[in-house]
Chains A and B, each alone.
Chain A
Amino acid sequence: MTVPALDPFVEFIRSTRMSQVFRDEVGWLWPLCESVHFLGLILLIGAAGFFDLRLLGFLKGVPLRSAKKFVPWAMVGFAMNLLTGLIFFISQPQQYATNLAMWLKVLFLLVAGINAMLFETSFSDRLMTLEPGADTPLSAKVIGAVSLLSWFAVLYFGRMLPYLDPNPRSGV
């Protein structure tokens, strides 16, 4: 299941100086980035998950406006993971570019991102006026569920990446 069209792209990335340095000259970079990637995922899922649970109608004693104050921390976690994820990709593009799990991960990242944008542009203002203790409308529950499920799908396809890869490869 290789995608031949991507091979020149993979070769190009691997041939860049940055890719060579990341891959061959800084041995501790990969384990460091793996560690940061896991800390980022905890921050992202912990902080976004709290807000999603409130959207789903749990934690009714928490005003939505207050729960939303955790969202910037989810964005910090996302930024940590985007940066370290790019370093993984630049170092070993062949592990990702033709890997179906990688593209499913990207798909769910897009679902989570579009869902969050939809929330911000069309629902956020109205929901922020909810009385503390009030249940959330169905629209909020759907957005919370989509968010929570898509972040766990991102985690799932990320962690399953080495095992869903149709190309033989080494490393974890």
Chain B
Amino acid sequence: MQFFAWLQETPFAQWVASDPSLLAYPTILTLHTVGMAIVVGTCVVMDLRLLGIAGDVPLAALARAPRLVWTGFFINAATGIALFTTDAEHKATQTVFFVKLSLIFLALVVYARLRTLVFRGTPPGVASVSGEVKALAVLSLVLWAGATVAGRLMAYLI
């Protein structure tokens, strides 16, 4: 806990938390939402396609999704750490924060597994989407939705 107390008092954390500039907390928070839209939006589109929505979109088109997913993930890891420092002592004890982190971790594990199943082996676009892939796509939608809601509820739950 001492570490989090120290973190919260660092000049960086103080700047993010209380500088009157719109570039401090407001812009970092907004970038966190932009990153979320990129990561989760990309994964949701992929999941919908795997579940048969827009079924004539070639699966090969999704092969470039990781660029977007990792770009958004990097934005959100960086902005997320910055936001965490402003309220580290509290957030480190906030259950819903750990729920959010766990759901993101699980969603990324499912994403990695989906990539292996869909893009390794037979050329993408040729193999039909298996039952396991469909089940994982549903799980991915549930995990990302859960992570998003948990993130939003951090502002409301103690």
Contact = CB atoms under 8 A, between A and B. Distances in A.
A18 B61 CA distance: 47
B132 interface: no
Contacts of B117: none
B58 A42 contact: no
A45 B41 contact: yes
A164 B151 CA distance: 22
A172 B26 CA distance: 11
A35 interface: yes
A50 B134 CA distance: 20
A38 B40 CA distance: 11
B156 interface: yes
Interface string B22-37: 1001110110011011
A45 B37 contact: yes
B56 A73 contact: no
Contacts of A63: 56
A43 interface: yes
B152 A34 contact: yes
26 contacts: A31-B155, A34-B155, A35-B153, A38-B33, A38-B151, A38-B152, A39-B145, A42-B37, A42-B40, A43-B44, A46-B41, A46-B45, A47-B45, A61-B60, A67-B57, A69-B57, A70-B45, A70-B48, A73-B48, A152-B37, A155-B30, A156-B30, A160-B26, A162-B26, A163-B22, A163-B26
List the 5 closest A-B pairs by CB distance, nearest first. A46-B41, A69-B54, A163-B26, A159-B30, A35-B149
Interface of A: 30-31, 34-35, 38-39, 41-43, 45-47, 49-50, 59, 61-63, 65-67, 69-70, 73, 152, 155-156, 159-160, 162-164, 172
Interface of B: 22, 25-27, 29-30, 33-34, 36-38, 40-42, 44-45, 48, 53-54, 56-58, 60-61, 64, 144-145, 148-149, 151-153, 155-156
